[in-house]
């Protein structure tokens, strides 16, 4: 039997995705090239190819240092002092995330710092990205998010919080909640940011998730900043009202397979629609309507 070109391209692409999730970047890059050679249109899965390329280029230029049972970093082998300082920030951030979300890490978090901003021009995100791999929880940060004394701590907290949510909720948290928790953790429980322009398009959980997931919005733009601030504010409100342990219980129930709205009802002892009603009121008040 001969494979058609489309089938062959699809198989190579599937293989590239699998190898990338296993963090086997050399092999993933080869599979990606094979997919394009077999006729995969360049526009298709472009981000996967660029992620593989950026992560592979970083791996070739980096050293990997295991800092603890739960944390490994992959950084350029430049100045030792810089690496020590970065490691300190990362370790503190991971400790804070562990505590904030009551996480038991099933495998180490791998923090990868991409050394060249030209490799990550495709990343339009608040800081970088998080992706579950088969033996690591991988956080990738571009140079702009790795500034010592600047955003590095916030970036580590935000992306490691995604790793924590993915772990506790088993990848089942809705996007608005995932981002809301990341923003809440990133700002040490006190999310700031203007939500004045949020009415009416982000006025429900589903609308907010849709906006954050859609391709229409650039995640480093103004609309995204409003969505992040709003999601963070909602999570903060829940944590203040019912306590952080209710939030943990909610995530654990989602992780055990309960639909998130029902899990909310059980963890917070009230229906989610009441929260959503208050959410709309918050947006109206912020907009002065």
Which residues are near Zn ion by CB under 5 A?
179, 182
DSSP type of residue 8: H
CA distances from 4 to 11, 29, 167 (A): 11, 22, 39
CB of 192 to Zn ion, least distance (A): 16
Q: Are 156 and 89 in contact (CB under 8 A)?
A: yes
Query: What phi, psi does 52 have (nearest 5°)?
Result: -60, -45
Pairing of strands 129-132, 109-113: unpaired
- For residue 111, the cross-strand partners are 73, 139
Q: Which is nearer to Zn ion, 12 or 162 (CB)?
A: 162
Q: Which is nearer to Zn ion, 160 or 182 (CB)?
A: 182
Say what angle helices 244-255 and 80-101 make with each other, to 10 degrees. 90
Residue with tokens 């094979």: 34
Tokens of 63: 């050293």
Return d(Cα 94, Cα 176) in angstroms, integer: 22
CB of 20 to Zn ion, least distance (A): 19
CB of 231 to Zn ion, least distance (A): 9
CB of 113 to Zn ion, least distance (A): 17
- For residue 65, the cross-strand partners are 73
Q: Which is nearer to Zn ion, 70 or 179 (CB)?
A: 179
Return d(Cα 280, Cα 289) in angstroms, integer: 11
Q: Which is nearer to Zn ion, 16 or 182 (CB)?
A: 182
Q: Which is nearer to Zn ion, 38 or 140 (CB)?
A: 140
Helix, strand or coil for residue 110? Answer: strand
Give the residue closest to Zn ion by C-beta.
182
CB of 80 to Zn ion, least distance (A): 31
Q: Which is nearer to Zn ion, 56 or 90 (CB)?
A: 90
């Amino acid at each position: 039997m001969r494979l058609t070109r489309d089938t062959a391209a699809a198989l190579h692409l599937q293989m590239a995705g699998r190898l990338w999730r296993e963090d086997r970047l050399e092999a993933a890059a080869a599979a990606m090239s094979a997919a394009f050679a077999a006729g995969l249109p360049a526009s298709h899965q472009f981000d996967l190819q660029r992620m593989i390329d950026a992560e592979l280029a970083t791996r070739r230029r980096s050293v990997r240092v295991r800092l603890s049972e739960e944390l490994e970093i992959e950084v350029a082998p430049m100045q030792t002092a810089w690496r020590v300082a970065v490691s300190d920030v990362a370790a503190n951030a991971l400790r804070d995330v562990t505590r904030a979300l009551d996480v038991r890490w099933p495998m180490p978090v791998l923090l990868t710092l991409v050394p060249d901003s030209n490799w990550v021009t495709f990343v339009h995100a608040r800081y970088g990205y998080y992706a579950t791999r088969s033996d690591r929880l991988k956080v990738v940060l571009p140079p702009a998010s790795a500034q010592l004394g600047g955003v590095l701590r916030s970036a580590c907290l935000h992306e490691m919080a995604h790793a924590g949510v993915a772990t506790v909720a088993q990848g089942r948290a809705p996007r608005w909640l995932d981002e809301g928790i990341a923003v809440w953790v990133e700002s040490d429980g006190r999310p700031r940011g203007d939500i004045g322009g949020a009415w009416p398009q982000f006025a429900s959980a589903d609308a907010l998730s849709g906006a954050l997931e859609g391709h229409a919005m650039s995640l480093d733009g103004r609309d995204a900043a409003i969505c992040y601030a709003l999601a963070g504010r909602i999570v903060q409100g829940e944590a203040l009202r019912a306590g952080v342990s209710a939030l943990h219980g909610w995530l654990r129930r989602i992780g055990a397979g309960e639909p998130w709205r029902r899990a909310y009802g059980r963890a917070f002892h009230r229906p989610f629609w009441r929260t959503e009603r208050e959410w709309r009121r918050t947006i109206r008040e912020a907009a002065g309507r």
